[in-house]
Amino acid sequence: MDHEFSIEDLTERAKAVEATFLVHPGLYLIGSLERGLTVYNQQLRAHNLVWALWELHKHNNGEDIRRVAIVGGGIAGLTTAACFLPLFQNASITLFEQLWDLCPLQQGSDNRWLHPRIYEWPAPGSRAPGASLPVLNWSEGRASDVARMIVSEFGKFADTFDERGERLAVLLGLRHFQIEAATKRIEWIANRTTRAGAFFHIGEAEGNSGIYDIIVLAAGFGLENQSEDYPTNSYWRNEQFGQPVLDGTRQNFVVSGFGDGALIELCRLTIERFRQDTILYEMFPPPINLEEVEERLTVAWNNKGPLGNAFEFFSNFEEREILENARVELSRRIRKDTRVALHIRGKNQEVKRFSDIFGPYSSFLNRMMTFLLFKCGAFSLSMEDLELAVRRHATPRANVLCRYGTDAIGHLHSMFSDIDNIKDRLVEIKTCQKQRPQRLWAPGTFPDPSQPKG
Amino acid sequence: MEKLYRNPEPVPPASQLALLPFAAAIEGFLRNDSDIPGLKITLHRTMSREVNGYLQQVCAYLGGDKPDWRGQVGRLFPVTYGIMGAAYDTQKIYRTKKYQSIEELHHDLQESMRLTADDKKLKEVGLSYLAIPFLGPPDQVVLILYAECKEFNFFADDRRILNIAAMCRGVCRLFDWLQGEPMPNLRNFPLLKGRPVTEPPTVYPLIQEPVDISPPRFARVPSFNYEAAAA
């Protein structure tokens, strides 16, 4: 833990934490510009920010924070709102969501698996399925299951800490949304809702504006960048690529990109019966002790440093049999109904060698899977122009999957009428990467709505 | 301190369920068909939160008339808290010592409360306490069984402590087996060892004593965090 966050004086720690989220006085950004954005990390940040604000304002019971706006009705936004509700009991909270439901990306997403900490693997305990969060807790599952858990928990928080339904307003279906950072004024056209448990009934449309004491940008991932020539459905939409091909043919695919989204597609398309929840146990079956494997990898990787190149690391890893055993397990289950090309040119054609993609662009686990699949010869590689790659691999347009991540800066810029006021600070936040996904709030800060009162 | 730690943080339901039946068995044994006033039993685990180590209540209190499985589960404490803190620090079983009269106990209890700045009323606090640390490799506290009641000299009976310690050793053997051969979809996911968070000790100094009985010991369980997993 960084020194400024480990300090015992809670007020000083809160000041340090608050500063990492601050974009402009009263305007805060959760995640979005941080590397390794995950649902769980965004929730940690939401807890940290709201705790820090409470710690700095509790001397007057938060009286100076009366109006809070939260931008984004995804998991980060809901967690932020649920953290505010019990602490800032004098505040009204307005949640803005562009789409027509909460957690819209993950609702109904049955293809994608969410796990709180698997992208921290091989860190000890990273396989634990529970998030163990005091606010909007959840356990691993399909994205749709996780969305259900989160929204249901959100309903409980709202029922318990806004019993009369007067403090929380949820606005859905934004058709216009603009923030003026200098005045903390928001202008919108959207539909106000009424809440029934975890559901929100749509009410009258309204065009309106308001000035807020605090604005929290919790827009999270946003939607992905698209290739103009090969538009691909959002990562979160359901499709059938993970299922065996039913017409007996062998299909060609091109996966373009080298972030976690692309590498997960690579795994799904090359590994038979691939499941993110079981793959580690299958690659390291008994009598291999998975915890020992994790310990050895962790020690060796920590010596290398988290920003190191994982290709060199895997190639030179001294305990060769650990990875060799996993490679043998994988080689037995390469999909027979697909032929996959991994296209890794990079946005500015910066990728010159396969090993270039093993920098800190994806999780350790996905890099290890890609390395092992490479060793199995499970895919071909392309660093040429995407159009050429598609033609050379005779890939139908529908089988070209471009996973280029999101344009978080562009998304943020589009929300502001006075972007010049905050542009430099956004760049600074992106450069510094200070919003540590760690539990920095004081233990016992957030009440549990399921605990008996008193 | 109370204010800082007033709300719980989650404990996986599988961890709670793994220990509740044991706490219930201890309660049944202690009660032995008679009423033990104020009997409360629970277990705590050592856990880390980033770099800091705490004690955390793993399951609800058993012993009352209306058990509530949610009740106070997940509360965090510094490792110096109460009689548990003494058991954690010394890795020994701690209990309330034997008194010749209740007046003597009241006197020492009041003086202990004054020394530890405990502002509860005398009638609100227990008269007998017990804390049994479960040790694990490499020589660290994994769990602590906590019990209290308002029966005079209740835990001063060595035989009673020997029996409870024997039951605890049975639990250690069970979880050692399960550590080697976990059940499908139910695993003990490791918790990191944290830097123990300490505050001035709040064990009642005059009435509690270490017991010369070996504490239960896991051979293979370094931390306790059972969770139900998809795989």
- Evaluate if residue A210 carries a pLDDT over 60: yes
For B172-203, write each residue's pLDDT tens digit: 999 999 998 889 889 999 998 889 999 999 99
Q: Which DSSP symbol is given to A416?
A: B
At B225, the amino acid letter reads: N
- pLDDT value of residue A4: 63
Share the mean pLDDT of chain A.
93
Is residue A443 reached through a cis peptide bond, with omega within 30 degrees of 0 on the bond before it?
no
Percent of chain A whose predicted confidence (pLDDT) is above 70: 97
Distance CA A159, CA A165 (A): 8
C-alpha dist (Å) from residue B21 to A259, A385, B61, B71, B185: 46, 63, 12, 16, 20
For B38-67, write each residue's pLDDT tens digit: 999 999 999 988 888 999 999 999 987 777
- A445 CB within 8 Å of a chain B CB: yes
Distance CA A234, CA A435 (A): 26
Is residue A122 reached through a cis peptide bond, with omega within 30 degrees of 0 on the bond before it?
yes
A325-346: b or e for each residue (b if 16 or more CB lie within 10 Å)? ebbebbeeebbeebbbbbbbbe
Can you list the positions of beta strands (E) in A319-367?
A: 338-343
Are A226 and A402 in contact by the 8 Å Cβ rule? The answer is yes
- Evaluate if residue A391 carries a pLDDT over 60: yes
A224 band by pLDDT with thresholds 50, 70 and 90:
confident
Determine the length of chain B.
231
Structural class in CATH, domain A3-223+407-432: alpha beta
Q: Do B231 and A133 touch (CB under 8 A)?
A: no
Short-list A116, A446, A137, CA closest to B13: A137
- Average pLDDT estimate for A209-232: 87
* Contacts (Cβ under 8 Å, ≥6 apart) of A383: A343, A344, A345, A351, A352
Distance CA B196, CA B54 (A): 6
Q: Do A444 and B6 touch (CB under 8 A)?
A: yes
- pLDDT value of residue A366: 97
Task: Report the residue from B12, B76, B231 with minimal CB separation from A277.
Answer: B231
Distance CA A304, CA A2 (A): 19
Q: What's the gap in Å between the CA of B2 and the closest CA on chain A?
A: 9
A160 band by pLDDT with thresholds 50, 70 and 90:
very high
Percent of chain A whose predicted confidence (pLDDT) is above 90: 81
- Domains of chain B are 13-228 (3.30.450.40)
- A439 CB within 8 Å of a chain B CB: yes
For A37-83, write each residue's pLDDT tens digit: 899 999 999 999 999 999 999 999 889 999 999 999 999 999 999 99
Mutate to test the interface with A, among B3, B7, B16, B61 (most CBs of A within 10 A): B7
CA pseudo-torsion sign A305, A306, A307, A311: positive
Q: List chain A residues with CB under 8 Å of B5.
A: 443-444
Domain locations in chain A as residue ranges: 3-223+407-432, 251-402
- Average pLDDT estimate for A149-165: 95
**Chain center to CA of A185:** 28
Q: What's the gap in Å between the CA of A178 and the closest CA on chain B?
A: 37
Q: List chain A residues with CB under 8 Å of B17.
A: none
For A167-185, write each residue's pLDDT tens digit: 999 999 999 999 999 999 9
Are A249 and A396 in contact by the 8 Å Cβ rule? The answer is no
Are A80 and A49 in contact by the 8 Å Cβ rule? The answer is yes
- pLDDT value of residue A7: 66
Q: Do A132 and B12 touch (CB under 8 A)?
A: yes
- A127 CB within 8 Å of a chain B CB: yes
- Range scoring the smallest mean pLDDT among A88-97, A260-269, A399-408, B101-110: A399-408
Distance CA B31, CA B97 (A): 20
A6 band by pLDDT with thresholds 50, 70 and 90:
low
Mutate to test the interface with A, among B17, B46, B50 (most CBs of A within 10 A): B50
- pLDDT value of residue A298: 94
Q: What's the gap in Å between the CA of A85 and the closest CA on chain B?
A: 15
- Give me Rg for the CA atoms of chain A: 23
Residue with structure tokens 């044991």?
B22
B72 band by pLDDT with thresholds 50, 70 and 90:
confident
For B132-174, write each residue's pLDDT tens digit: 999 999 889 999 999 999 999 999 999 999 999 999 999 999 9
Q: List chain B residues with CB under 8 Å of A55.
A: none
Distance CA B146, CA A331 (A): 51
- Average pLDDT estimate for A304-314: 88
C-alpha dist (Å) from residue A44 to A17, A41, A76, A117, B179: 12, 5, 9, 11, 30
Q: List chain B residues with CB under 8 Å of A446.
A: 7
- Average pLDDT estimate for A428-452: 90
Are B227 and A129 in contact by the 8 Å Cβ rule? The answer is yes
Q: What's the gap in Å between the CA of A449 and the closest CA on chain B?
A: 10
Determine the length of chain A.
454
- pLDDT value of residue B1: 43
Distance CA A374, CA A379 (A): 7
- pLDDT value of residue B2: 43
Q: H or E stretch including A209?
A: strand A199-211
For A80-114, write each residue's pLDDT tens digit: 999 999 999 999 999 999 999 999 999 999 999 99
Q: H or E stretch including A67?
A: strand A67-71
- pLDDT value of residue B139: 86
Mutate to test the interface with A, among B2, B3, B9 (most CBs of A within 10 A): B9
Task: Report the residue from A1, A125, A439 with minimal CB separation from B191.
Answer: A125
Task: Report the residue from B4, B190, B229 with minimal CB separation from A291.
Answer: B190
- Range scoring the smallest mean pLDDT among A35-39, A297-301, A429-433, B12-16: A35-39
B145-172: b or e for each residue (b if 16 or more CB lie within 10 Å)? bbbbbbbeebbbeeeebeebbebbbebb
Q: List chain B residues with CB under 8 Å of A130.
A: 10, 12, 227
- A134 CB within 8 Å of a chain B CB: yes
**Chain center to CA of A183:** 30
Q: Do B189 and A128 touch (CB under 8 A)?
A: yes
Q: List chain A residues with CB under 8 Å of B10.
A: 130, 132-134, 137, 448
Could you tell me which chain A residue has the CA closest to the CA of B2? Answer: A444
- Evaluate if residue A454 carries a pLDDT over 70: no
Q: Do A141 and B230 touch (CB under 8 A)?
A: yes
Are A327 and A375 in contact by the 8 Å Cβ rule? The answer is yes
Q: H or E stretch including A177?
A: strand A168-180
